[in-house]
Amino acid sequence: MSSTAAFVFPGQGSQSVGMLGELAEAHPRVQQTFSEASDALGLDLWELVSHGPEDELNRTDLTQPAMLAAGVAVWRVLAEQDVPPPASLAGHSLGEYSALVCGGALEFADAVSLVAERGRLMQEAVPQGQGAMAAILGLDDDTVREVCLAAAEGEVVEAVNFNAPGQVVIAGAAGAVERAVAAAKEAGAKRAMTLPVSVPSHCALMEPAADKLAQRLAEVRIAAPTIPVIHNVDVSTCDDPDGIRQRLVRQIHRPVRWVETVQRLADDGVTTLVECGPGKVLAGLARRIDKRVEGKPVFDPTTLAKILG
């Protein structure tokens, strides 16, 4: 598997109360991983993930460490089952931090504290209610960009997540996003709907958060990854710690180029995308992006057994 598999990690939006519960019952490594994250945060993250409340889990400063821990937990379970390491790693948005931990570039405890701070900085940059995100389905990338340009009217609204052909997420000021949703429908979108998020990720409104994140990243030890990690912002790999820092800073206010990431993995010979973490969003997108790639999620004993085959 190792030479033709990549492991990928989901970001915010895949979290849910009770996630990884069945896997944790069968594999103590899951709860142990969350215990490490809890120690780094000073709160019981597994209790929050297991029992909620949901609105607390959906707070971006708590969602981010919870999703990071979930991805790393699945990675560790796979390693315990002697699944060979993959050829490459990648993560969608926040998931890039999980990839860097599993690739040996970031220490887990450091990453937990870092993404909690990242979440706080993002929320501070745009107070709740002032920003929004929306999914646009059924329009090509250029049309979505044109819709955003026309709807901006002096405010920020940008195409920020290129998730699959015909599936683009936009973000920006709440009013501008609302105008863009209406314009996308007029332009023939199959669906255009706002998303239940508190922060307009990956757009220019996040630049103040990026500046503060750069200061925080300067304090964190980063090593060259032992497994190549493809970065969201430029679809590149990087062995230089400062280069990784720069990419993580840019990532917070620049688009997630997921379509190109999967295409690059396919070009590199990857045929299987193993999604480590709750849900199966990235596994579902894989074949829509490139028919050479099959997505396989791992989040419970049944999906794990399919990987072990």
CA dist 259 → 4, 126, 142, 167, 181 (Å): 18, 27, 14, 10, 22
Q: What are phi and psi of 166, to 5 degrees?
A: 80, 10
Contacts of 28 (CB under 8 A, 6+ apart): none
Beta bridge partners of 192: 136
What integer best gives the mean pLDDT of the chain?
96
Active-site option among 27, 202, 231, 253:
202
The distance from CA 113 to its chain's CA centroid, rounded to whole angstroms, is: 17
Tell me the per-residue pLDDT of 28-58, one tens digit each, with 9 for 90 and over.
999 999 999 999 999 999 999 999 999 999 9
Give yes or no for a contact between 29 and 83, defined as CB atoms under 8 angstroms apart.
no
In terms of pLDDT, which residue wins out, 273 or 198? 273
Residue 1: per-residue pLDDT: 45
**pLDDT confidence band for 9 (50 / 70 / 90):** very high
Q: Is residue 199's pLDDT more than 90? A: yes
For the stretch 143-196, pLDDT in tens is 999 999 999 999 999 999 999 999 999 999 999 999 999 999 999 999 999 998
Q: How buried is 287 (Cβ within 10 angstroms: 0-12 exposed, 13-18 middle, 19+ buried)?
A: middle
Q: What is the pLDDT of residues 82-140, one digit of tens each?
A: 999 999 999 999 999 999 999 999 999 999 999 999 999 999 999 989 999 999 999 99
Q: Please give the span between the terminal C-alpha atoms of the chain, in angstroms, as a whole number.
A: 11
**pLDDT-above-90 percentage for the chain:** 96
The single residue of 88, 93, 98, 198 carrying the catalytic annotation is 93
Q: Considering the chain, what percentage of its residues have pLDDT values greater than 70?
A: 99
**Mean pLDDT along residues 66-81:** 98
Evaluate if residue 12 carries a pLDDT over 70. Answer: yes
Distances (CA, A) of 102 to 57, 79, 185, 217: 23, 10, 41, 18
Residue 2 has pLDDT above 60, yes or no: no
Report the predicted TM-score, pTM, of the whole model to 2 decimal places: 0.97
Answer yes or no: is pLDDT of 291 > 50.
yes
How big is the chain, counted in residues? 309
- Helix, strand, or coil (residue 219): coil
Does 202 qualify as catalytic in the annotation? yes
